[in-house]
Structure 1
């Protein structure tokens, strides 16, 4: 299944803030350029109006004094006050000819605008537009004033102002990203604690709790998390207690069944053997041909007694509390080595002191090992089974490895493995069953020790 790439939330939010900030800077720059263009056009319109009014006054003065010498139009007086770099003043007569023109030189810019900006600015605005004002005296149109600005000068001025904004953007945007990332990292720091708590819950540590947070949203998550952890802890504790009671009831039923089999079937088989021996004595005197049948009955009864003895051993193993876990497991392994007749080799290794181990844990470990050995020998067809039992002050670890058929469904399911899972769950432990890296199967069981027993275990160790 295709998975989308994952991005860090801080990086994603920082990039979004940077994109929004850049868009805002772009909008501000566009607004500034539009405003600057309007201001430039308003300025040349005002200059055109001033020049036109000045020429009208010049013409009125000439007519008032009735001077035969006419120096109209004269742009020199007004040009002294309004001329700026790149500005052009001109008077166009009624015939359309330019009668007088003044243009100030445009300085060479230190950093000319790029061609891309020039094309963009010329396409968006009209920097070479002329401002025209008519010169009218006593109702007679004498001509018109034409004012314009060199497009290169206006473009250079716009680029200079835009460059200042771009410089501010180049400085402010990275600084803003750093500050936003730092603020987000600080604000999202509790998410690491939430993730750690979830990982602890997933690992089975239901004692994990989250501390109070400053943010209301994270505090709500913290309340839900802690409530969930407490609910799961309570539910698992109740389940473990129920499982413990069911296992205790199951063990009691096994002991009762073992007593019934021993008392009823055992005595009956012993009686059959006695009767077969008596019948053999009688047949030896009166009917020798029945000796074979009597011996067959005796052998059948003996075989049934051996089978019954093995069944009783499985139903009611030796008292682990009296013999101890180490001795009981060593006896179990020795029994399997004896019954397998060399076909399967069983070995066991201990690490730690198990004398002060609670009886409930010892009995459950014995049953788990018993089921695991049966599963490996009968279902997986293993030729080598190794057991390792290690104890620390906080937990007990059981490892069982074999070289059998790990792909056999019977080794991964069935009542045996289900019973092991139930016993491990009753002790609040963890069980894993998987294929071994080389061949065969690997069973791992970890059972935590009660806190009240830890000082005793440490002194015993």
Structure 2
């Protein structure tokens, strides 16, 4: 069964034109058949009038000559002039009996009409209907002149004429459909360009523009499309710039917070541990019962320093610009493998040259990987995470696959994923996150090198 929504516009319009044309042909054929039937009855009425007048003259002649021999009615003189194939002439007396009847034979032909047409024609019309005219002489009705046509002959004539129309329809209708389809295909050819432009916009290529069109309607669509593309490109550029500033401000806040924590809490914890060590020495000499409390204070201070060191590492990561993206990510993965104690295994693979990668892209990629690993390990409970970073031609692709819980709302749409989307959007890239039906998730990030500007492309080339 055809799907109406997927019907080609050209095919649909061509079929509609064909249907309308067929309806017009049917109306013309019906009009022709009706006109032909009326013409046949009018002709029969005229012949009946001629026959009646001829018979009246014959009877008048008989009375005028007072001839005892009368050949009334005699249809032979008039039949020589009016007879056609299938025509019947008759004279019916006042008592209703046929006093004389003369019929010409129907022509023998192999082109007989189909039964369905015969039934249709007999249902709509009344072929063979008699045309009668009274024969009157001196005010006295002598009888009727009756004219009729063989129904088979009249039906065959109608089929012969209708057949020509059907033949014309059979030839003209397919030709008309082909011409309409070709004309529509030519007129709608610019819609392919419009579709290609929309696909480019959907793929993130906001440089797509449509050329001028000949049709006024399509030219209006083209103007709106180009204006929309320009507006969207400008809006995304402004949004990306704003996102870059917000991310830069966020990173600066993180660095400031890291300095504050290091300077204040780090020194305070170091002082607490030193005081605990001093108090332990004093307790060992004067009050041995306090040694346990001193050791507990020292252990607590050491644990807090370890926690602070981890927080400082997350707030202020290694200098990616100095160490390079590859070394920074390898260190990040090694740190997660070290802290996991065998519970979560991380692996990373590189394909490409990343030494000359622009600092903007490197820093954001590091943050994206950092957030993705945190989501996979802490929120999704993944036991295996595979990372792959590739750089080909003019774009970088990051693929992260894990076997974590697919129903975790944080892993799906938490603030971590939102932050990653903002970073990717700031680099004019694309991000996709898919959840497997039986668990696990796949994160894909594609970033064009053009996001860092022409200079970055020159260095990365």
Per the shorter chain, which TM-score range? Answer: over 0.9
User: Are the aligned partners of 2:84 and 2:104 in contact in 1 as well (CA < 8 Å)?
Assistant: yes
What are the Cα deviations for residues 140-171 of structure 1, in whole angstroms up to 9, with x where unaligned? 44433211111111111111112222222222
Alpha-carbon distance in 2 for matches of 1:343, 1:94: 121
- Count matched residues: 459
For the aligned residues, what is the CA RMSD? Answer: 2.3
Measure how far apart 1:193 and its partner are. 2.6
SS in 2 for 1:450: helix
Q: Which residue of 2 aligns with 1:51?
A: 51
SS in 1 for 2:22: helix
Measure how far apart 1:384 and its partner are. 1.8
- CA shift in 2, pair 1:442/1:330, >3 Å: same
User: Are the aligned partners of 1:376 and 1:385 in contact in 2 as well (CA < 8 Å)?
Assistant: yes
Q: Which residue of 2 aligns with 1:78?
A: 78
User: Are the aligned partners of 2:427 and 2:451 in contact in 1 as well (CA < 8 Å)?
Assistant: no
Q: Following superposition of structure 1 onto structure 2, how do residues 37-116 of structure 1 map, counting pairs within 5 Å? A: 37-65=37-65, 67-116=67-116
Q: Which residue of 2 aligns with 1:31?
A: 31
Alpha-carbon distance in 2 for matches of 1:460, 1:433: 27
Q: Following superposition of structure 1 onto structure 2, how do residues 265-304 of structure 1 map, counting pairs within 5 Å? A: 265-304=265-304
Alpha-carbon distance in 2 for matches of 1:438, 1:454: 44
| Greater shift in the superposed pair: 107-116 or 354-363 | 107-116
Q: Which residue of 2 aligns with 1:136?
A: 136
User: Are the aligned partners of 2:450 and 2:456 in contact in 1 as well (CA < 8 Å)?
Assistant: no
User: Are the aligned partners of 1:393 and 1:454 in contact in 2 as well (CA < 8 Å)?
Assistant: no
SS in 1 for 2:100: strand
Q: TM-score, normalised by structure 1?
A: 0.92
Alpha-carbon distance in 2 for matches of 1:267, 1:452: 39
Alpha-carbon distance in 1 for matches of 2:96, 2:318: 128
Q: Which residue of 2 aligns with 1:327?
A: 327
Runs of at least 5 residues in structure 2 that lack an aligned partner in the other structure: none
Alpha-carbon distance in 2 for matches of 1:359, 1:179: 61
User: Are the aligned partners of 1:109 and 1:156 in contact in 2 as well (CA < 8 Å)?
Assistant: no
Q: Which residue of 2 aligns with 1:235?
A: 235
Alpha-carbon distance in 2 for matches of 1:438, 1:326: 32
Alpha-carbon distance in 1 for matches of 2:444, 2:436: 11
Alpha-carbon distance in 1 for matches of 2:140, 2:406: 113
Alpha-carbon distance in 2 for matches of 1:4, 1:18: 18
Measure how far apart 1:197 and its partner are. 2.4
Measure how far apart 1:138 and its partner are. 4.3
What are the Cα deviations for residues 52-79 of structure 1, in whole angstroms up to 9, with x where unaligned? 2333333444455555543333322221
Alpha-carbon distance in 1 for matches of 2:157, 2:201: 65
Q: Following superposition of structure 1 onto structure 2, how do residues 29-428 of structure 1 map, counting pairs within 5 Å? A: 29-65=29-65, 67-428=67-428
SS in 2 for 1:52: helix
Runs of at least 5 residues in structure 1 that lack an aligned partner in the other structure: none
